[in-house]
Structure 1
């Protein structure tokens, strides 16, 4: 799964990577993005061509019950096309989740041994995301939200966990966002990112609390 991630790069770096027609509004660095918080995603504007960036809720909301209990932050790539909650979104409501790192904890020791994973290139990247908009039946402001697709872990991740988020290569951004590309066409993108192109750093437990969101969250653990 993916339970926390980071977005610390500059607006300029983000705009360049995602080929945004208009620079996004200034984005404060995020060192510890947690479920139910707002996070930056990239999708197509109404013209179906131009890419835009907005911040929406991490934790998919498709009905009122999704606001209660554990948020839907992840969807398994292997079964997303067969589960009613995700199948129509995989077909037509895909987005790019802006990130430059993500945190996993050792599965057999919940809350201990947090590790930060990123790319050796130190570049920002995108998770494969699904989004939706929910209109409360009693009225009120619509809720835009997203979840992150996960897949089997690569050799680096499997030491800690049995899942990892799907990371898309820049050359695949267009196909993932293409409204004419159906589920069958994008399924091939949902695979583990190569371990030899990634890094892992042990962190202190400061990042365990979602109340902490500063650069100290990413300080390496010194043993």
Structure 2
């Protein structure tokens, strides 16, 4: 799952960090959608219902634009479907911060945006996840491994980015128009998958991370890449790194560099042994019982000893009767 992120770059730097090549091979930095640059604010501890920087196809806003062109927008975290008929979006009764990849083609909340091509990429320095062990929760900060790049001044190449590589998470968005006729609200959800082997010891779910610009291009270009083809990009990846962080991140009101700083986890002490337990442990370590060899002696047969079978009362009676039969019958006395 994904319930907290960090994105600390200024709006202009977010644009530079998302530089890409168009179909003609020209390098471009996506521009912020009109009015959206002021809706995004850098944060070390971003929670649902706040605005995040989101990358999507320019064609969603300009019908005559090529679907491969990109634009930046500030969207609210937690998808509000276009058909939601309440006046207040906070009355949405379902949690839509994340959507599972294995059910998003079936659930009405996500099925419509998916098949209408409303695919987006949520940008972040990294995200937080909590490992639960012995009823204790330890937060971890998870992000792309960082590769050092050559320094380059803006005058040499205004599209060159010397900073960190942003995490690119696949998502879906929708547009909700308030019944009162106010400004449309753009919201998104983060797609989640089973955690990869490098991360499943922390949590069993993780965001669907798009690793590399080619994966980002295919996910965003809904005009050229059909839905079924794009869904092949949604899977766990191993190319991530992480470190434990302070529990101050547990409170979303805490927003400082300390949230992402690595900490050293204290070693857990073994429970103290009492005198009898310690004595028993010493004995077990020094005098472990040896495994006895199996006994191969076979039980002797009765015939080996020449013993006659035990006589029973029935057999004795038979012998007596036999003797009686063998005796001659007494002669009758003559009168």
Instruction: Name the residue aligned to 1:154.
Output: 196
Structure 2 CA distance for aligned equivalents of residues 118 and 217 of structure 1: 14
CA distance in 1, matches of 2:135, 2:108: 30
Number of residue pairs aligned between Structure 1 and Structure 2: 221
Aligned with residue 120 of structure 2, among 95, 109, 134: 95
**What are structure 1's unaligned runs of at least 5 residues?**
none
Q: Tell me how far 1:67 sits from its aligned partner.
A: 2.5
1:60 corresponds to which of 68, 76, 79: 79
- CA apart distance, 1:41: 0.2
| Residues 22 and 164 (structure 1), Cα distance of their counterparts in 2 relative to 1, 3 Å cut | closer
Distance 2:75 2:134 in 1: 31
Corresponding residue for residue 2 of structure 2: 2
Q: Deviations over 1:92-138 (max 9, x none)?
A: 10011111211001246787201001111252121001001101224
Matched, 1:191 2:235: yes
Q: Secondary structure at the match of 2:230?
A: helix
* Aligned mate of 1:35, from 38, 48, 53: 48
1:136-192 CA deviation, whole Å, 9 max, x = no partner? Answer: 224333211000000010122211211000110221111111122222111110000
Equivalent residue number for residue 220 of structure 1? 262
Corresponding position of 1:143 = 185
Higher relative contact order (Cα pairs below 8 Å, separated by 6+ residues): 1
Which residue does 1:119 correspond to in 2?
144
Q: Show the counterpart of 1:44.
A: 57
Q: Where does structure 2 lack aligned partners over 5 or more consecutive residues?
A: 21-27, 147-163, 267-335
Deviates more, 1:118-127 or 1:166-175: 118-127
C-alpha contact 1:60 1:66 (8 A) present in aligned 2: no
